[in-house]
Amino acid sequence: MADPFRQSLESVRNLVLAARETIDPATIPEGRAERAHELLNAATHLIDDLLAQSPAATLGAKGGKATMRKLGPEHFRELAAKRKTRAGGRPKHNNDDSSTRKR
């Protein structure tokens, strides 16, 4: 099955190319046709670039940098220590009501 993001980018590219071909024979005053050609060419190049890139690879390149800025290195040291002692995860729920609840 094809990627829906890629399909929509390809359809937008086809629309841009169709608009470019429609403007070709037209004679629009004041150089507007030339400007439209420039914009449509730029759009085509941008879409081609987006089609060549992998969205997952682009997002994966960030790799927790924002989290690092927010939480700091100490947070990651604690996580590593928990992994070494197998103490990760949520803490146990200690509620007095749960121990006295009828069964």
Determine, yes or no, domain membership for 18.
yes
Given this model, what pLDDT does residue 23 score?
A: 78
DSSP 3-state percent helix, strand, coil across the chain (nearest 5)? 75, 0, 25
Q: Can you say how many angstroms the Cα of residue 91 is from the centroid of all Cα atoms in its chain?
A: 33
pLDDT tens for the 103 residues of the chain, in order: 567 777 888 888 888 888 888 777 666 677 777 888 888 888 888 888 888 877 666 666 666 777 777 788 888 888 888 777 766 666 677 776 555 555 5
Residues 7 and 44 in one domain: yes
Q: Supply the range of the domain harboring residue 68.
A: 63-88
Alpha carbon distance 57, 49 (integer Å): 14
Amino acid occupying residue 75:
H
Number of structural domains (the chain) is 2
Residues 42 and 76 in one domain: no
CB atoms within 10 A of CB 47: 19
Given this model, what pLDDT does residue 33 score?
A: 77
Alpha carbon distance 5, 54 (integer Å): 11
Q: Which of 96, 79, 75, 95 is nearest to 87 (CA)?
A: 79
Q: How many residues does the chain have?
A: 103
Given this model, what pLDDT does residue 72 score?
A: 82
Determine, yes or no, domain membership for 71.
yes
Residues 32 and 67 in one domain: no
